[in-house]
Every structure is written in structure tokens, then in C-alpha cells.
């Protein structure tokens, strides 16, 4: 009886385990996208003044899809921390600029 039950339900238990492992992988890619956008927001303030026009086009093209993916993953996995970090990463250029003003003066 127990063996019959295990054979009947073993595939569903395996699918649950695989779905959980896939969810961990998705979270890793979401966290990596947040990290890339946060670093990009900092690095783009270090470019020469002549590149500022290009910077205004490059950052949204790269940041919006990555943060959108991270926010979708945060919503899907109900991760408040990932969602808050994604929004902060999207605002990272403004955060770095404001921090620079406080450190080096207005």
C-alpha cells in the first residue's frame, strides 16, 4: 500500500523539488540584475562630461528591463527585500549624486 502511494505521488514530489530549485535560480539572476544596475548607476557618474548625453540613453535602456525583471521576480516570489533593493538600484544614480553632494559639498 505504501509503495503504491509513493509510486503514485513520487513524480509530483519531484516536480515540487525542481520548481523550488528553479525558483532559487531565478532569484539569483534577479539579485545579479539588481547588482549590475546599482554598479552601473555608480559607474556612469564617473564618465567624462562629454559622454553625459550618451549616458542619458544608455542607463534607461539597460536598467529598466533588468529592474523590471527583478521586480517581477520579487512580486512572484513575494520577496520584499528584493523589491526594495530593485527600486533603490534604479534610483542609484540619484543616490550617488546626493551622497557626493553631502561628502564634497554643493
In this predicted model, what pLDDT tens digit does every residue of 28-65 receive, in sequence order?
Answer: 999 999 999 999 999 988 888 888 888 889 899 999 99
Confidence at residue 53, expressed as pLDDT on a 0 to 100 scale: 87
30 in Cβ contact with 69 (< 8 Å): yes
In-domain check, residue 1: no
**Per-residue pLDDT tens digits for 56-96:** 898 999 999 999 999 999 998 888 899 999 999 999 988 88
> Comparing 68 with 19, which gets the higher pLDDT?
68
pLDDT value for 1: 55
d(CA 43, CA 62): 13
CA dist., res. 68 & res. 4, Å (int): 45
Does residue 79 fall inside a structural domain? yes
Please tell me the predicted confidence (pLDDT) of residue 34. 95
Dist CA 80 CA 86 (whole Å): 10
In contact, 30 and 73? CB cutoff 8 Å: yes
Q: What per-residue confidence (pLDDT) applies to 20?
A: 55
Please give the pLDDT value at position 19. 52
Task: Give this prediction's pTM.
Answer: 0.70
In a domain, 7, yes or no: no
Is residue 35 situated within a structural domain?
A: yes
What is the domain extent for residue 38? 29-104
Number of domains comprising the chain? 1
Whether 68 maps to a domain, the answer reads yes
- How far apart, in whole angstroms, are the C-alpha atoms of residue 52 and residue 70? 26
Question: Within a domain: residue 12?
Answer: no
Amino acid at each position: 500500500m505504501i509503495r503504491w502511494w509513493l509510486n503514485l505521488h513520487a513524480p509530483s514530489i519531484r516536480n515540487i523539488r525542481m520548481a523550488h530549485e528553479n525558483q532559487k535560480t531565478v532569484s539569483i539572476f534577479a539579485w545579479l540584475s539588481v547588482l549590475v544596475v546599482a554598479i552601473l548607476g555608480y559607474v556612469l557618474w564617473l564618465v567624462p562630461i562629454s559622454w553625459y548625453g550618451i549616458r542619458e540613453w544608455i542607463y534607461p535602456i539597460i536598467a529598466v528591463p533588468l529592474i523590471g525583471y527583478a521586480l517581477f521576480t520579487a512580486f512572484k516570489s513575494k520577496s520584499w527585500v528584493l523589491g526594495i533593493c530593485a527600486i533603490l538600484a534604479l534610483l542609484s544614480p540619484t543616490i550617488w549624486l546626493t551622497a557626493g553632494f553631502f561628502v564634497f559639498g554643493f
